[in-house]
Chain A
Amino acid sequence: MLGPAWQLIPVTVLGTWAIVVNGTFFAAMSLRTRSREIMLPLLLFPITIPALISTVEATTVILVGDPATSAKFWIVLLATYDVMFTIACLALFETVLHAE
């Protein structure tokens, strides 16, 4: 009982992109902190929660395939998140790298 399976493609792409963008950005940011091994997950986790939640929820809805529910909301949320964080990270990456 698979739902509209093609929706898994945008979910995968967007979810991966969210993690890639934030991971790179926060890795650069925690580069110069003390005990950076702890700092990176500490920073990355709360920031990535919305992306993780919407990815998981969207996948659940698609796999369950209940016609009454739609993954649209979660996909849109994920896309919004991606757009915002991509812009913010690109705009601020310079600042982070040169913060010395």
Chain B
Amino acid sequence: MGDVQRIFYYHVPSAWTAFLLFFINFLASVQYLVRRNPSTDKVANWILITVASGYLHRKRGHRHGAALKRPCRKMLSRRRSATTGVTIALAYFVICKFFSVEAVDALAVTTAEVGVVFCTVVLVTGPLWARPVWGIWWTWDVRLTSTLVLWLIYVSYLILRRYSIQRPDAGDGGFAGRVRRARRAAGVFSIWIFRTQHPQPVVGGGGSIDPRMLHVLLMNWLAFLCFAYLVCWSRYRLEIMKRESRRGAGASIPVAAKGAWPDELPLRRLRRHLGDPHRGISSLWCAAIPRLKQEVDELNKK
């Protein structure tokens, strides 16, 4: 397929990254809803533990005797679903451990925004590849359609967050309510993802893949992940700062939303690596964070 095929190395890693981010968004959203109430929090934890241990148990049980009897594919899909179940539970508890309730919400916005960017990349590069290979820009295939719908849903989710009313006397209540509502929306959205993303065969991936291609693909994915992490991290810091400044404006409510990252350390390291922070792509983030910090200080003084 020549050079056209190379877009594959761009398209697939962004798709995986986008889905990973949306997955994190889903977990964060669910946690935000669940953890506000101690009883639902407990229930959710126990459900997850039960499901995960049930999967583990079943997996081990099948290894003993039943392997030969069962068709190979069934075995494989069962193992995959077990892995999925355990992964969901693990990721849930990892997020639970490292993020406070407010921070989980910031995490959700961050991942949704960055995920939408990656999803846009997928939707742009997909047709670019399809035009020479399939001869058409777009087809209403299940997988393509579901990705498009997913993108639409997340865009409207972000719009909803932005357009929710914030009362002028914005105490904690108005803000939390706004956020809660949006968060709930995210929960519903993301359930939807899981239903749609699962069942289709891989379109365009085509049978087996050369191991060398796979290596390049995985390396690329790693790079994409690093990039996504960097962007997410900057955005997350900004979000936390914004909240702190907003809260500082309200009253003497203590600053509760501490991020998962140790204070400022990675930023300093990043700056040292990049040299002058006011030069290059990173200047936007690097300039915005100190400014916000300054605003927080001023507001606190008042």
Contacts and interface: CB of A to CB of B under 8 A. Distances in A.
- Tell me the dominant secondary structure on chain B's binding face: helix
Interface string A11-53: 0000000000000000001101111000100110111011001
Nearest to A95: B184
A12 B181 CA distance: 31
A80 interface: yes
B156 A99 contact: no
A98 B188 CA distance: 17
B176 to A, nearest CB: 8
Given A33-B160, A34-B165, A43-B160, A92 B184 contact: yes
B230 to A, nearest CB: 29
Interface string B158-191: 0110011100000001100110110011011101
A17 B163 CA distance: 28
Nearest to A34: B163
Given A34-B165, A39-B163, A92-B33, A100 B188 contact: no
A88 B159 contact: no
Contacts, number: 69
Given A95-B180, A99-B181, A47 B189 contact: yes
A32 B188 contact: no
Interface residues of B, number: 26
Given A35-B163, A42-B160, A88-B187, 16 more contacts: A29-B181, A32-B164, A33-B164, A33-B165, A34-B163, A34-B164, A39-B160, A42-B159, A47-B153, A47-B188, A47-B192, A49-B152, A53-B145, A84-B195, A99-B178, A99-B180
Interface of B: 33, 145, 149, 152-153, 156, 159-160, 163-165, 173-174, 177-178, 180-181, 184-185, 187-189, 191-192, 195-196
